[in-house]
Structure 1
Amino acid sequence: MSAGDGQRLEPVRRVHAGVLDVAYHEDGPADGEVVLLLHGFPYDIHSYVDVAPALAAEGFRVIVPHLRGHGATRFLDPATPRSGQQAALGADVVALLDALGIRRAVLAGYDWGARAACVVAALWPERCTGLVSVNSYLIQDIAAAMTPIRPDLEAGFWYFYYFLTERGRAGLAADPRGVAEVIWRRNSPAWPFDDATLDRAAEAFTNPDYVDVVIHSYRHRLGYAPGAPAYAEIERRLAAMPVITVPAVTLDGLADGNFPATDGSPSAAHFTGPRLHLQVTGAGHNLPQEAPKDFADAVREVIHLRHAWSEDEHPDRR
């Protein structure tokens, strides 16, 4: 168990950002270097219950938002499409930075959160001082979505296909906690989470837009649902699988039940800036909560990587 089991990330603040009223946790000094921590599905901001205070204590300004469809985050307009596509997640990050008056930040995440961070790092590198991404490059190649993978890995993605059906939508609506528990146990077979930890995260699944956003996310990525028109240009740019030029630290958990750890080479071509790839013993898919020290160390490391890169690029500043 992590030290943060039973603890909560509070208080939750709010800000209008783009199409959302975003609920977020903030800690650390207002003038500290900004680190934006982005959670995945089906999880919530408590994936960072240990990471956030550790970084804040070191002087970072730490911001942990609930993604669209999760927690207390709400859409401002009932007519806005409840899109869960990757372009929407990336656009939400930029809108949040704008709303908080933050020019640049370290972006760190896993699962949906890492995807959002990768989107911003690739398309708006001027907003990203460094990237920490579990499972490396997570921009979706939607054109290749129907290419099969190993059968044992396909089995772990049962919910991708379940959510393509109306039975899957009804099942998620009826028991989001139960769906999450099955996914958690497959994603992180070595993580001994308890009922209270799952219950705390499941509070975020009571959001009235949760089901619509989740269902659209999986249907869109597999080519079974169109994207929202507002994100068409971003999706067009993402279809080119743009490279990431900012300093990056990528992580794989050696106990990830759905994403086998690699040495980083399969995704190397997508990173043209300085990049360090690490493997984390004993950690599964929810790496920040399962191995908080390793994740916080990765944030520190990407800053060191950025400084070293800057000195190499501008030796006259030494």
Structure 2
Amino acid sequence: MLKKIRIDKFVIAVVISVVIAYFLPQLGASDSPVPMDLISSLGISFIFFFYGLNLSTEALKNGLRNWRLHVVVQSSTFILFPLLILPFFPFVKDTSYELIWLGFLFMAALPSTVSSSVVMVSMAKGNLPAAIFNASISGILGILLTPLWILPFINETDVVFDFSSIYIQLFTEIILPLALGLILRRYLGSWAGRNKKRLDLFDKFIILLIIYKSFVHSFEDKIFSSISLSKMVIMIGLVVLLFYIVFSLTGWIGKILKFNHADRITNQFCGTKKSLVHGTVFSQAMFGGTGIIGILLLPLMIYHAFQILVISVVATKRGRETVVEE
């Protein structure tokens, strides 16, 4: 089984982007002749436009039947996760850990992944239609719910935010392109389906570009000077602990509600995933005018790499199991 465990290429690319941002910041610097902000903004709009084109309305309609599973998955994604982080705010308020805590809350409030959730559920022989439904609807719900969790705490930071511009940017870069993609799906949906791999590569390229630009600004503003090695170790430990807490809770909830084997897999896999794609574009829309995106993305990037490693191992193991329903 160990031979089948591979480090995700996208995770490697993310790390390389951060390294390049540190050693070669010229293209993403504030005085760069390359219009990185405009490129990022247009890229985000195209990501959600293509997302709308690829969104399976048939899968969404069929998925509504298994409503109990969907309620549990979305509750895990948007309620359970943030509630595990929220109680620690009084302990970090007005300390050097406050911005790191905000990064954890931001990660906890994000929607689930789309492609990797579906792939892993398929490998583990879970409920694939339900996984497609939940991964798709999660991205839509996140547009509304993620900012609702984060914005009340933005005032607690030392960074000045223009809330009206945040909502305008969320609407113009995310909601409007998504709606346009859904409207044009009947005309361009087949084209998007044929070119899905190329569109996925485009998504990843834009995400890597935003990560590069964000970390360049963070390095410019010396944001990371407050993060010591001990804090980084603590952050990694907390990410791992958070993953296993949610993974265990979603598994236990599935048993309590007497989900069948396939539904329990979908609940546990989709309910524990967090999307680096959505996290990157949301952070750009909400915090693009600041230099704090680098720190906000750190817990998410660690979590993203860890979730892919663990879930891929678990999915491979469960895919080999012979299922006997109770």
TM-score by length of structure 2 reads: 0.28
Which is higher, the Rg of structure 1 or of structure 2?
2
Q: Determine which structure has the larger helix proportion and give its number.
A: 2
Q: Determine which structure has the larger strand proportion and give its number.
A: 1
TM-score by length of structure 1 reads: 0.28
